[in-house]
Amino acid sequence: MTYVKRKPFFRLILRAAPAVGAVALTAVLCTTPAWGADYPWPVTRVIDGDTVAVDASADFPPELSRLRVRLRGVDTPEKSRRALCAAERAASRAATAFTKQQIDNAGQIVVRDPKWGAYGGRVIADLVLDGRSLSDALIEGGYGVRDRGRQTKKERTENRWKKWCSASGK
């Protein structure tokens, strides 16, 4: 009596996995937008001075279409309970109102060069209104400061205190 050694099923799966993976990766890359371009995603809500919500349903499935966009290169005062003092809360309201006004008055709004941020569902991008960066407008108007990049929580708090609270004396 002779025995025929059969190849286990998992070996077949292992052989087919690279081909299936390549097909899946190609499908994903073909359906996602190319980062580094301009997107005419409409702004649906202003969250605060440096964060807006956009509708990206033209480029993403419905589950991923509602994105928050954090403006690149600018930091505005924190609002409500995250504010360090009353002056920062007031400055946050002013920055948010400025951002709303700029978006409402813009004829063309473009989200430029979006990159996934550190927090899920949020991207870092430039918001260009009629050819002008909203980040630059916030800084020039005194509603925000240049974002210093990676900082510790302590450094960020100290910088916020110096900018928004120390002048008020509170």
Residue 8 clears pLDDT 80, i.e. is over it: no
pLDDT of residue 25: 45
52 with 43: CB under 8 angstroms?
yes
Residue % of the chain over a pLDDT of 70: 74
More confident residue, 117 or 121: 117
Q: Where are the domains of the chain?
A: 38-165
pTM score, whole prediction: 0.72
Taking 70 as the threshold, does the pLDDT of residue 144 lie above it? Answer: yes
The whole-angstrom separation of Cα 79 and Cα 128 is 23
Q: Which fold has domain 38-165?
A: OB fold (Dihydrolipoamide Acetyltransferase, E2P) (2.40.50)
Instruction: Give the mean pLDDT of the chain.
Output: 80
- pLDDT of 93: 92
